[in-house]
Amino acid sequence: MNDSDNSNSQFLVDSPQMNGMMTTSSGAGGGGEDPLLMQPMNNATLQSVLGFLRKNGLTETEELLTREAAPVLRNDCTGLPPEEAISVEFDAFVQHANDCTDVIQAEFSQLLFPIFAHSYIALIEKHAPTARVFFDRFKIFIPECFSEYVFKLSLIEDSMTLRPNEYVNILRSNKVLVRLSKPTVKHLELIQTRLIGVKNIIAKHVCIENADEGTMSRTMIETQMGGLIGVTSKNEKRHKMMFSVVKDELMQNIEKRKAKGKDVVKRMQTAQHCPQHDRIPLPPISEHQRDERRNWLREVGKMAIISPETPVSICMYTTVNAPIGVASCDFSDDSSFIAMGLSDSSIVINAMDPMNKMKKLREMDHLEKIDVETADNVQSQMFDLQASTTSVRYTGHGGPVFSVNFSPDRRLLLSSSGDKTIRLWSMDAQTNVVIYRTPTMIWQVWESLFGLEMTQNPSGSFRGFYFATASTDKTVAVWSTDRMQPLRIFADSYGDVGCIDYHPNCNYVAGGSEDRYVRVWDVCTGTRVRIFGGHKGAIIGIKFSPDGRYLVSLDAIGNLMVWDLAYQRLVAAEITEQAGTKGHISFSRDGGVFAVSHGNSNIQLYSLDALIGSVTASGGGHNDVWMEPKVNMEGFQIGSYPTKQTAVIGLHFTRRNLLLGFGCFGQ
């Protein structure tokens, strides 16, 4: 007992804190207490202790202390005026996020913009000057990918400018979806116990979805951010998509040509993913279209296979003497014609080969006299060969021609303009035959933007019967050339739809909009079957791969992304500084590479085969939905080709894989 007493005495003597407590206790009978211990707990002291526990990984202790001290932490904010409490709580939330580990900090960054936006909106309604101070103080903490939306919020100065603001209405009517791991959710629950204002904002305006175990990394989180209403939900994966195309004789010959003497990347078996051949009604194939198909078959043997070892050959066409500018262009499928939509509302069509002139039909009174059953060489009698020319100008639009698109058989041309019309032109009669009127301006600056992507049937034989439009009223519409009204209207987007593309099997149409989402709709049922988010700017270009499985999209700040339609995942992201307002994507005829232009004086070439090979080698070729995307993968970009002073606004691969480019000098 004596040893124990001596030991305890020594411990008390050596411990200043315990010694102080012993002295105070013994001195209590003397009527004096330490003033420091008589002071109540305050928020500053508790925050320092919580920060210390958090940095040292003592999460359970932090959780216990937070819950026990919740009244003190809560009262520190509730005693302030509402406009000041919002600033104090947001500052505490930012500090908490900065003290967390790297991955948890990245996950918390998804919440910063919605909490910041709704806090600012609440302050605007209560006290505008305080709102401006709050905005200027905390805008630097918002991730860079939301800078455009932060700028939109900065234009709101009072409650009068708040009500009509489009972005505010979208944020108020939709919950922002974020995906958090279990540790991050636990951190969030802790901080919500003392930040009641933040808790209310999250409960009302944020939807939290649990992330799968082992799927969250900083790279994956950052590639998913950027959308106005958050990431895409897991529930979006419930729709089955028949993304494959039937391999006809032409496609089989192309694959054989590509596989000759090389190791071909093994891809998914696609037979079970093909839609029924009669799912979409199509007109019969004409004899002219059959001839075109046979001509293409004969050229397969001369097709070049592009790779890093065998670089692409590029032929760049530049137009001059266009003072107002060229708004759009398109090449015919057989590369025999090029159409230019000019800003002066006219359309110019040029023959690529001077020997292959454009023929014009004779007048109707002459055509009526031809006896089709008895006449010899009816074709020569129908066309006025003396009137054949290498260049034709079409007039009729009342505004800049934002898009032009040839039908696959080169007999029709579609155009859209700022005059809110779509015009169908006959290449044989060289005149306008149909005018489709729309309620909003059809604003398009490149191929497939605001419409005009002709389709092909599931076996690969082009028909040119359907076309799609995308407009400033945030909709995508599907039309047929034999009707004056759209067959389908897709109104899912929260921003102007900037680009569209038809799927190779004709069953789906994809659109990219200013809200930074890529959507894919089923033409037959009208269902949205895919949605992808992760772009950091308005989407300006979109294109399906020839095999139908992959989708490439391009945004205004230069980010290029490749999506896998089978598993609904991001496969690769290429972060560049090629910012622009016009974009164009074109696949080679074998689908192995694709060329990209951002509307500036540069063409980039990417290898889809190299990307698929890398994904397969890393084990992501199977049903690994949450595979981490390849960011700036080495070997993905296989070439960059600058021009001097010509902005590239059109790209096209010929049937022999010669890349054609088009631009306007000095534009």
Same domain, 308 and 197: no
Question: Does residue 345 lie within any of the structural domains?
Answer: yes
What pLDDT, in 10s, does the model give residues 308-333?
A: 888 999 999 999 887 788 989 999 98
Q: How far apart are the first and last CA of the chain?
A: 97
Contact 415, 401 (CB under 8 A): yes
CA distance 565 to 551: 7
Distances (CA, A) of 280 to 457, 463, 520, 565, 620: 8, 12, 16, 20, 33
Question: Does residue 53 lie within any of the structural domains?
Answer: no
Question: Is pLDDT of 653 > 80?
Answer: yes
| Local structure of 479: helix, strand or coil | strand
Same domain, 258 and 217: no
| Local structure of 179: helix, strand or coil | strand
- 92 is in which domain, residue-wise? 82-224
Same domain, 598 and 642: yes
Question: Does residue 60 lie within any of the structural domains?
Answer: no
Residue type, position 124, single letter: I
**What pLDDT is stored for residue 115 in this prediction?**
94
CA 322 to chain centre: 32
Give the residue carrying structure tokens 């519409």: 477
Sign of the alpha-carbon torsion through 73, 78, 84, 85: positive
Region of poorest pLDDT, from 46-60, 357-371, 407-421: 46-60
**What pLDDT is stored for residue 541 in this prediction?**
92
Spatial CB neighbours of 489, under 8 Å, sequence gap ≥ 6: 475, 476, 477
Contact 54, 63 (CB under 8 A): no
Question: Does residue 326 lie within any of the structural domains?
Answer: yes
Residue type, position 548, single letter: G
Same domain, 555 and 432: yes
Question: Does residue 203 lie within any of the structural domains?
Answer: yes
Instruction: Show the tokens assigned to 648.
Output: 């590239």
pLDDT, mean of residues 443-458: 36
Spatial CB neighbours of 248, under 8 Å, sequence gap ≥ 6: 459, 460, 461
Work out the pLDDT band at 538, boundaries 50, 70, 90: very high
What pLDDT, in 10s, does the model give residues 590-609?
A: 889 999 999 888 999 999 99
**What pLDDT is stored for residue 72 in this prediction?**
57
pTM: 0.82
Question: Does residue 10 lie within any of the structural domains?
Answer: no
What CATH number has the domain bearing residue 615?
2.130.10.10
Contact 201, 117 (CB under 8 A): no
Question: Does residue 1 lie within any of the structural domains?
Answer: no
CA atoms within 13 A on the CB side of 351: 13
Sign of the alpha-carbon torsion through 515, 448, 239, 617: negative
Same domain, 133 and 260: no
Distances (CA, A) of 494 to 36, 490, 538: 58, 12, 12
